[in-house]
Amino acid sequence: MAQNPYLRIERGAPGTIGWRIHYFEEIDSTQNFARELAANDAAEGTVVIAEKQSAGRGRMGRTWHSPSGVNLYATIILRPTISLAEVSKLSLVAGVAAAEALEREAVGIVALKWPNDIWLRGRKAGGIIAEALSDSHQQLSSVLLGIGININLTVDDLPAELRDKATSLRIATGHACDRIAIAESLFSLLDSRYRETLSGGFESVRAAWERYSALTGKRVSILDGGLRKTGVVKGIDVDGALLLDIGENVERIVAGEVSVEGAYDDM
């Protein structure tokens, strides 16, 4: 394993996010290695970071563009005492922490697109996945919280087909940023928001998520099981579901079952 530049930000004891950071110059997926660690009883708060992923994964099994040495690719092992049905909320909690960490470098241009995308100036700069692992009794044993953030990616690093859709902190702000300092901020903020959620429920961080919402008040089309629904986003509820006003009523759209289209045409 290569020398770990993130050693200097390891903090706290087992259970604290970032207490132990495993580092790779290249790996197939931080999610895969974290899964192995979790199966071998790695403590909550253990983090896996890679400079490059050969098989980085995004939401719904999509490939995540993962060039070397410019971004942050991390998976955090969590062991919350919650139900399997509540796991998706953790991606929203992580979104709040990520937005707060990035806003220290990019004031006023950070937004969250439900359910788990991080946006800068209306383009995607990151994504979050919360993968539940269950035991032999089908009870939640751990959660692998994957976070990918484009930090020092340049326009030239982006494939041509992504240049009108993706961005990075460097592209959005015009200057290179300290990835290790951002990771340190992210882990500290996430540790705080995660503990806040465990003690007070998702309601305790919902208002913070709403402050960054890129969709609230916008008219969007949503594909739900092959059925298209169009309406105005009213926000999210205490369970993290999107609230869509379709005229005659407000429908709850559950994370992981839909994709949102047309939300950023005017951004």
pLDDT per position as a tens digit, 29-49: 999 999 999 999 999 999 999
Q: How far apart are alpha carbons 97 and 44 in whole angstroms? A: 17
pLDDT digits (tens, 9 = 90+) for 132-186: 999 888 899 999 999 999 999 999 988 888 888 899 999 999 999 999 999 999 9
% the chain with pLDDT above 90: 76
Model pLDDT for residues 6-28, shown as the tens digit of each residue: 999 999 999 999 999 999 999 99
Please tell me which residue, 255 or 17, carries the higher pLDDT value: 17
The three-point CA angle 101-262-148 to 5° equals 30
- 128, 145 Cβ separation under 8 angstroms: yes
Residues 6+ apart with CB under 8 A from 220: 230, 231, 232, 233, 244, 260, 261, 262, 263
φ/ψ of residue 209, rounded to 5 = -65, -45
pLDDT tens sequence across 118-145: 999 999 999 999 999 998 888 999 999 9
Show the domains of the chain with their CATH numbers: 7-211 (3.30.930.10), 219-261 (2.30.30.100)
Res 60: pLDDT: 43
- 34 sits in which H/E element: helix 30-39
Is 227 within 8 Å of 214 (Cβ atoms)? no
- Partners of 134 in beta bridges: 140
219-224 and 227-236 strand pairing:
antiparallel
pLDDT tens by residue, 216-254: 999 988 887 778 888 999 999 999 999 999 998 999 998
Closest CA to 91 of 126, 115, 74: 115
